Structure 1
């Protein structure tokens, strides 16, 4: 049979159990109360005589102070167990996921989570890089489809041949003369970040192939060539390019200028093999007309020739655009 006794704000409950269990609870905003459930078969038999009451006052008075200190530390509930004349605090098993952390402290990251995040980031970057090559094509398609596709415009597009219906007015300044006389492709436009827009000095139109470049060995071979031989080689490739793309009659001034500049330099004996020269030619024939013309200026290395060549290239670009417009309107 249970018995209950109130001593100095503490409640003792005696029951026939095998151990003495003490539990304390603390709530914020109210006075702390400590409820002790005392269970010991021998105490139940003694019915808490005055002698034992004084003993419990001395023992549990110290115990109450210790319980209060525990409450202040944890701000929650604790369980104390009396066993074999010892009073122990029962460890509370807390789920690792229930620990509260400071709002400023980032959550712990395991190695597995770090590796997973790295893989996700790599996949997203790979998709972004793959989209760069098609972003300009989609943007060009939007520009082309913005105009109403009537029968007359379809006929104009058919007459344009290899020149897509780009309507250069919607492109950038560097796109004029595309694809043979335009400037280099705009790297910012390809990634969708060109803020200059129509005033950009680089090309915003798609290029079927990457522009050919000389590698280190080919540059060495080209630099070792005499100016006359190099300029005559460029003049022949320029002529081939203009003929193939249908503007030979517009490029005659530039071709004659390069030929005359070549004659102003002395011939130099060849020091490289024919195979090396053929490899160099295979790269040069893949370059656009505009790049070959500027390469001739670099090889001649004469200020007067460059001052004459640059305006001629601009004039050729204007003439080519005018001829295209007439052809499209015809």
Structure 2
């Protein structure tokens, strides 16, 4: 950056152009229009004392600007060096060890990632006081946890248990096959299939709404799909001895057994 020369001229702080810099193709500053005759008359009325004071003020500004430029450049050099060192440290830093993942696990993490419970909200916020005794998953989950919207929840409430199982069966089977535990989940899939309905759901819901519901279900984990059955049983306030309650309780027991098998 070229040196900047300031002077006090007609009550303005004037910047003198560097002729050598201009000859090299440097940028030329814009100039103001010269003062009119009325203003020229007022300039001649200024006292010599005021002019000397302003010239001293302008000279002090130029000196202060020069003093500030050096520390600023030094600060930029220090910041650049720190950022370069940080980048080098990031390149050589090892990836998080598996032991750290195991340390963050909990009882709700059994069967991760398909058969575990939903992610722990407290751990996501920073700390879970329950630790290993927490009933929710402390392991890493990729992507956003899918949830049903209001219209989809109403659709699920309008289904009876047989229709719900019919809706969930293909997605449960697809998740088990995709993640390689179809053999361990065979009993769960058999129970769902035996209690499902043969009536098509397209007669109960609009085709577009049913399509959107299926898109959401396709993104849900195996345990989340089975949780919908237990949730429906609780919402219906079924008591022990009711077929819906007994079936939901049986699926929960089978899911807990599956979690232990997948964790071994």
TM-score, L = length of structure 1: 0.45
Q: Which residue of 2 aligns with 1:315?
A: 257
Kept after mapping to 1: 8 A contact 2:107/2:133: yes
Partner secondary structure for residue 196 of structure 2: helix
**CA distance in 1 between partners of 2:128 and 2:97 (Å):** 16
Moved over 3 A (4+): 265-269, 297-301
Report the CA distance shift for 1:284/1:308 in structure 2 as closer, same or farther (over 3 A).
Answer: same
User: For 2:205, which of 272, 278, 289 is the aligned residue?
Assistant: 272
The one of the two structures with greater contact order (alpha-carbon pairs below 8 A, sep at least 6) is 2
**CA distance in 2 between partners of 1:262 and 1:321 (Å):** 29
| Structure 1 residue ranges without an equivalent (≥5) | 1-140, 147-165, 323-330
Kept after mapping to 1: 8 A contact 2:119/2:137: yes
Q: Which residue of 2 aligns with 1:144?
A: 98
Kept after mapping to 1: 8 A contact 2:112/2:263: no
Higher helix share: 2
Kept after mapping to 2: 8 A contact 1:228/1:266: no
RMSD: 2.4
Kept after mapping to 1: 8 A contact 2:104/2:139: no
Kept after mapping to 1: 8 A contact 2:105/2:139: yes
Kept after mapping to 2: 8 A contact 1:242/1:289: yes
Question: Structure 1 residue 232 and structure 2 residue 166: aligned?
Answer: yes
Question: Structure 1 residue 288 and structure 2 residue 202: aligned?
Answer: no
After superposition, give the CA deviation of every residue in 1:115-141 in whole Å (9 maximum; x if it has no partner).
xxxxxxxxxxxxxxxxxxxxxxxxxx6
Kept after mapping to 1: 8 A contact 2:202/2:210: no
| Structure 2 residue ranges without an equivalent (≥5) | 1-94, 237-243
The total of aligned residue pairs comes to: 161
Higher strand share: 1
Report the CA distance shift for 1:268/1:287 in structure 2 as closer, same or farther (over 3 A).
Answer: closer
Partner secondary structure for residue 178 of structure 1: coil
**CA distance in 2 between partners of 1:303 and 1:227 (Å):** 10
Partner secondary structure for residue 205 of structure 1: coil
TM-score, L = length of structure 2: 0.55
Partner secondary structure for residue 152 of structure 2: helix
User: For 1:203, which of 137, 141, 156 is the aligned residue?
Assistant: 137
Q: Which protein is bigger by CA-based radius of gyration?
A: 1
**CA distance in 2 between partners of 1:188 and 1:239 (Å):** 31
Q: Which residue of 2 aligns with 1:104?
A: none
Q: Which residue of 1 aligns with 2:128?
A: 194
Q: Which residue of 1 aligns with 2:70?
A: none
